[in-house]
Chains A and B, each alone.
Chain A
């Protein structure tokens, strides 16, 4: 089984974000880059399937040279090799364009399964994986917390409001992985050492055979904004019983939410 895992190099969730230069830029405080937490579920699932069925796991990322760190992380966990799609043309793309770049490469690869994380933290689009699947005309299952593969039959359970949806499809397909699917392993020292020797194939736009004409309609950036400030809060003092009475009164009469 040849499994492709789509991974992204992102700022970790502790990073603080500030809008700077009148909305033209973002400033990051305490930034620390990691393999997107959801992609860890995808890599882990790929490794487990490889352990069960044999084959190989290939990690693929779109990004600059720095992204190779997350590819190394995926290989330290156990992925066999990696592909980095990297070109100035690929910077700051919207989900459709990013997915089109990935699909362009995957049309040249053989694969039985594509795994990705539920969403990339930061941009928070929850879209690239699904679009890749759609462009390659393979079935797509998103927000998956349970996956069973038998022969070429795939059964997945996805999280929806109030329960789980059961989905069936055939291989090859694309699965977006949600927390709960598995417990990602930590890379072993041996894994980290051997990851250094594994191959990362770097592919730019011209090797991929595309130029700026490849991208169609573009999203126009206008500005970054701070989240709307929250009105100053009220601390309710007094004996617990009185405080709760006061709270319920405020909720129904002042805030009108009850």
Chain B
């Protein structure tokens, strides 16, 4: 079994989710007496950067290079990746389920002609088969599957798999990428969101507000707490639809699905569509004045009370904790 992990590099840094994914790949390879390798794509990857998968027991790294890979183009990258995987006879390719991973993986599945399993939250090896657990109906149920001959393209949900530090020597090989004549979209720019906070999809701590926040001005206080945490600010759909916060903050079935270490819900009732987006968070705190709000059913810790009293106190406490 030969398994490849795509390493995502943004602004000169490897996305942490790549190490989460590679940790799992290394574990699968070990259990199946296979080989797990790392794959970097692009012109600006240094040898040193390509060595860093040594942290997670990946013994071989490849860098795919080509003039056409200077800037990100999903189909061109996918062509480079799948041609390389075919040539070197890899059975499977893993991606972190970041926005880039989720963009690339299905296209790779098409070119590589291998089934795609998205947004996986659990991977095991059972009787020689790699098995996957994937949420369906926004996490209201899970589906466990495997793929014939262990040939698959899969994306692994961010923040779910631990980075397993296990150092080894890593060899790096640069390879000239082979590209088919594919028509692709090209990235020509980036517009940074107005917020200086992390995106909910990336943050390890999220504090979210709902209709109970009463108005846009009060989200300022959540943003301040989020900043103290080095985390992100989320929102329910009610708050987004009211125009208090941009949609990029929405957590839930029609927003983002998140699994941070800590999720704090303020003035959010816990509608099924909201729970769908956050109930796999490790620790959930609910602050709500209605003791019967369904959010308390999933909360690890709950405080029944007025958020306008609780949140400022929380901010003070966190401030003194962080010194």
Contacts and interface: CB of A to CB of B under 8 A. Distances in A.
A166 B187 contact: yes
A225 B310 contact: no
A22 interface: no
A127 interface: yes
Contact of A257 (B109, B117, B262, B299): B262
B98 A248 contact: no
A248 B318 contact: yes
Contact of A134 (B78, B148, B272, B284): B78
Given A130-B106, A167-B187, A244 B145 contact: no
Interface string A221-249: 11111111011011110001101110110
Contact of A230 (B129, B183, B279, B303): B279
Contacts of B301: 233-236, 247, 250-251, 255
Contact of B118 (A126, A142, A157, A222): A126
Given A131-B116, A141-B185, A233-B300, A227 B317 contact: no
A95 interface: yes
A37 B255 CA distance: 12
Contact of A138 (B183, B283, B299, B314): B183
A218 interface: yes
Interface in A9-67: 11, 13-19, 23, 26, 37-38
A127 B106 contact: yes
Interface in B125-151: 129, 131, 133-149, 151
B190 A13 contact: no
A168 interface: yes
A38 to B, nearest CB: 8
A16 B276 CA distance: 11
Contact of B140 (A158, A227, A247): A227
B323 interface: no
A218 B107 contact: no
A17 B141 contact: yes
B75 interface: yes
B119 A244 contact: no
Given A166-B187, A216-B113, A240-B310, A221 B202 contact: no
B115 A217 contact: yes
A180 B254 CA distance: 11
B89 interface: no
A140 B74 contact: yes
A130 B303 contact: no
A235 B284 CA distance: 12
A17 B313 contact: no
B56 interface: no
Interface residues of A, number: 87
A189 interface: no
A175 to B, nearest CB: 9
A258 interface: yes
Contacts of A220: 129, 145-148
B111 interface: yes
B98 A161 contact: yes
Contacts of B248: 159
Contacts of A251: 262, 283, 285, 301
Interface string B245-287: 0011000011000000110000000001100100110111110
B185 A13 contact: no
Contact of B135 (A169, A227, A231, A248): A227
B262 A258 contact: yes
A164 B283 contact: no
A216 B114 CA distance: 8
Interface of A: 11, 13-19, 23, 26, 37-38, 94-97, 99, 121-128, 130-131, 133-135, 137-143, 156-170, 173, 179-180, 216-228, 230-231, 233-236, 240-241, 243-245, 247-248, 250-252, 255, 257-258
6 tightest A-B contacts by CB? A134-B110, A166-B189, A130-B106, A127-B106, A169-B185, A161-B199
Interface of B: 74-75, 78, 98-100, 102-103, 105-107, 109-111, 113-119, 129, 131, 133-149, 151, 182-193, 195, 198-199, 201-202, 205, 247-248, 253-254, 261-262, 272-273, 276, 279-280, 282-286, 296-306, 309-310, 313-314, 317-318, 321
Given A162-B202, A224-B141, 13 more contacts: A13-B253, A17-B136, A26-B141, A142-B74, A160-B99, A161-B99, A165-B190, A168-B185, A173-B183, A220-B148, A226-B142, A233-B298, A255-B301
23 contacts: A13-B273, A122-B136, A124-B137, A126-B119, A143-B103, A160-B100, A164-B193, A179-B254, A217-B114, A217-B151, A225-B141, A227-B279, A227-B280, A230-B300, A233-B284, A233-B296, A234-B301, A235-B296, A236-B302, A244-B310, A244-B317, A255-B282, A255-B283
